[in-house]
Amino acid sequence: MKKQNNTTIKAHLTRSALYLLLLLAVCAIPFALAQRNATHRTVAPMNNATADLNSATGVDQAQPPLASGGSGLAPLGIPAYPKAPQVVLYDQYDNASVIGTLSATFTDFPQFNSDLADDFVVPAGQTWNVQSIDADGLYLGPGPANSFNVFFYADNGGLPGTQVYSAMNQSFSVAGSTFTVTLPSVAVLTEGTYWVEIQANMTFLPNGAWLWRDRTVQSNQGAAWQNPGGGFGVCPTWALKTTCIPITGGPDQVFRLNGTMGGGTPTPTPSPTASPTATPTATGSPTASPSVTPSPTATASPTATPSATPSATGSPTVTPTATPSNTPTATPTPSGTPGGCVRGQGYWKNHPDQWPVTELQLGSVTYNQQELLDILREPVRGNGLLILAHQLIAAKLNIAAGADPSCIQETIAEADALIGDLVIPPIGNGYLAPRDAAPLAGILGQFNEGDMCAPSCDQSPPPTATPMERRTRPNPAPRPR
């Protein structure tokens, strides 16, 4: 009985600790909490960027005290300037709040894993080689973190989109309240908008959590946050931080990117490369259809009949042979364009009568049509396996319906390998972290939207597939159903 009571008490304390994090605005904690041991700390002056790393470690390290006048912000210790040839590529080390927001994974409570990312812009004509990130932060609890993750995402309509770089389980250094992660390989970013995430890997009991310090001034879109495991009950997918955590200490985060400019192969090249490679292939199929159609109409039959016996019949014979193979293709696909266009997952989910096959293999498991429909209709709820499966089903159905697969075959093979023996919900209970599945799902999504080697069925035929004479006709080409 005593043992049972102890277990109950321990479980109650664990739940209470987690609920405390939720009540404190999803771990948005005043940095003033760190002042409980202030007498044992070294405070770095405003004009001194070199805090003594040997004076203390973890939560007992130098921490700026809470200011009472002026802006009401705590003085922020600016980290030392990077050593040449590195420079500061992007700087948000200013306007610090006294609040931090959770950005951590937990070995013991994965449902509370949280992602926090902030956006920045690489100016036109520039290429950045990011080599390290500085982020101002604080442990809620004794710490330390086991390691840190760093991710870069492409922008997707004002929120983090496709992941273009990841560095998992990296070592880190701490100076004052600045946490620095040196990347194992350079993140090469060409011009455009990106999002960066720095995330601590921790064991909540007993080490606590890590908070990334908020910034009171907004640059660009502001930071975004998500809790894929649903433990906090808010924002299971990316949303602006101010939406997820209304009492946050500010719209942005305090961080700095260091590295060099120019040279290198851009990190996010994989996605764009697929598109141009596929473009010529995509136009091939539609162009073939109009050229074959006139062939039988232009007296292909009469020509083939008289000259069928002589050796000169080689070319006419090819024409009738091509006609039958093209005729069946055109017959079952009136709903799409003649060359085999692509449709998104929403179309296949709502038009099962148009499916070209009744079963598909995802990973190493084969599913029938009803099971595939159940998977398509299953909400994602932060499960990367479902994010990937929805796009993979659509891609395989598009290919089965005649779309050109040349640019997506390798991605499909990688997706199947990642899924492996996992059985996809609601058929099974397989799970993948969103960050693991997102890169492949993003490429498959581009294919399904018609941005790669096959055109979208929801768009007019591409210019290369439309003969010049068609542009002079009064009636436009019929849109596919």
State which amino acid sits at residue 223.
A
Q: Note the pLDDT tens digit of each residue in 224-250.
A: 999 998 888 889 999 999 998 877 889
Distance of CA 259 to the CA centre of its chain: 23
400 in Cβ contact with 408 (< 8 Å): no
Q: How far is CA 467 from CA 108, 182, 279, in A?
A: 62, 54, 17
| Count of C-beta atoms within a 10 Å radius of residue 426 | 13
Burial class from Cβ neighbours inside 10 Å (0-12, 13-18, 19+) for residue 4 reads exposed
pLDDT-based confidence at 275, cuts 50/70/90? Answer: very low
Share of the chain above pLDDT 90, in %: 47
Average pLDDT, the chain: 73
Mean pLDDT for the stretch of residues 155-162: 94
Say if residue 313's pLDDT is above 70.
no
Q: How confident is the model over 179-205, as pLDDT tens digits?
A: 999 999 999 999 999 999 999 999 998
Q: Could you tell me whether strands 87-91 and 255-261 are parallel, antiparallel, or unpaired per DSSP bridges?
A: antiparallel
At residue 383's C-alpha, the angle toward residues 14 and 195, to 5°, is 90
Among the listed residues 43, 60, 34, 79, the one whose alpha carbon sits nearest the alpha carbon of residue 182:
79
Nearest to 227 by CA among 363, 104, 51: 104
Q: Hey, how many other C-beta atoms are within 10 angstroms of the C-beta on 65?
A: 14
* Res. 212 pLDDT band, cuts 50 70 90: very high
Tell me which residue of 354, 357, 352 sits closest to 334, measured CA to CA. Answer: 354
C-alpha gyration radius of the chain: 29
Mean pLDDT over 330-355 rounds to 70
Give the separation between CA 79 and CA 155, rounded to whole angstroms.
Answer: 28
User: How confident is the model at residue 266, as a pLDDT?
Assistant: 59
Predicted confidence (pLDDT) at residue 429 exceeds the cutoff of 60: yes
Identify which has the larger pLDDT, 362 or 312. Answer: 362
Confidence of residue 407 (pLDDT cuts 50, 70, 90): very high
In terms of pLDDT, which residue wins out, 375 or 305? 375
pLDDT digits (tens, 9 = 90+) for 35-74: 333 333 222 222 222 222 222 223 333 222 222 223 334 5
pLDDT higher than threshold 90 for residue 123: yes
468 pLDDT more than 50: no
Residue-level pLDDT at 15: 52
Q: Give the residue with greater pLDDT, 274 vs 86.
A: 86
424, pLDDT greater than 60: yes
> Are 388 and 327 a contacting pair, CB within 8 Å?
no
What pLDDT does residue 76 have?
78
Percent of the chain as helix, strand, coil, to the nearest 5:
35, 25, 40
**Tokens, residue 407:** 């640019």
Confidence at residue 78, expressed as pLDDT on a 0 to 100 scale? 85
Which H or E run contains 211?
strand 209-215
pLDDT at 6: 55
What's the pTM?
A: 0.47
- Of the pLDDT bands very low, low, confident and very high (cuts 50, 70, 90), residue 216 is very high
Distance between CA atoms of residues 237 and 48, nearest Å: 40
Q: Which residues contact 13 (CB under 8 A, 6 or more apart)?
A: none
Give residue 333's pLDDT band: very low, low, confident or very high (50, 70, 90): very low
> What does the pLDDT look like over 451-462, one tens digit per residue?
899 999 876 444
Q: Which helix (H) or strand (E) holds 376?
A: helix 369-377
What pLDDT sits at residue 58?
31
> What's the rounded mean pLDDT across residues 434-457?
89
CA 325 to chain centre: 41
Per-residue pLDDT for 395 more than 90?
yes
Q: What tens digit of pLDDT does each residue of 317-329 get? A: 334 444 444 433 3
Q: Is the pLDDT of residue 144 over 80?
A: yes
Confidence of residue 265 (pLDDT cuts 50, 70, 90): low
Per residue in 80-107, pLDDT tens? 888 888 899 999 999 998 888 999 999 9
Which band of pLDDT confidence, cut at 50, 70 and 90, is reported for residue 263?
low
Which residue ranges make up each domain of the chain? Answer: 12-261, 272-286+333-468
Read off the pLDDT band of 442 (50, 70, 90).
Answer: confident
141 by Cβ neighbours in 10 Å (0-12 / 13-18 / 19+) ranks as middle
Per-residue pLDDT band for 16 (boundaries 50, 70, 90) equals low
Specify the pLDDT at position 383: 87
Percent of the chain with pLDDT over 70: 64
What pLDDT score does 160 carry?
96
User: What's the confidence (pLDDT) of residue 264?
Assistant: 56
pLDDT of residue 10: 52
